[in-house]
Amino acid sequence: MALQQVFIHHVFFWLKNPNNPADIAALTEGLKTLTKVKTIKDFHIGRPADTKRDVIDRSYSLSWMIFFSNGEDQASYQTDPIHLKFVENCSNLWNKVLVYDAVNV
């Protein structure tokens, strides 16, 4: 399936307490609040798959992949009050965040 005209924002979270089910649940619920941002076209919340190859990094706790129509929509997401509230409420849960943004070639 080819996605047309898409901006992908993929965020990886490393939790301070990665084995704490309450922290995983809290971050998952926090991410679900972000789905109310109007510019998000689609999203995926995931955890590392049980795949084991040298090129696979399974060290993260959760990932948040969101799809936007363009870079402008993604930029507005960054300053959306819902996103800012998420960061305020949940940033105490993680010790590292890594983002990969991608656009069509």
Range of the domain at 91: 7-103
Say if 2 falls within a structural domain.
Answer: no
Say if 79 falls within a structural domain.
Answer: yes
- State what percent of residues in the chain have pLDDT above 70: 97
Report how many domains make up the chain: 1
Distance between CA 17 and CA 34 in Å, rounded? 22
pLDDT number for residue 105: 85
Say if 1 falls within a structural domain.
Answer: no
CATH number of domain containing 78: 3.30.70.100
Say if 59 falls within a structural domain.
Answer: yes
Strands 94-103 and 62-68: unpaired
Report, as an integer, the average pLDDT of 36-53. Answer: 96
Round the average pLDDT of the chain to a whole number and report it: 96
Contacts 24+ apart (CB under 8 A), 80-84: 80/37, 80/39, 82/33, 82/34, 82/36, 82/37, 83/34, 83/37
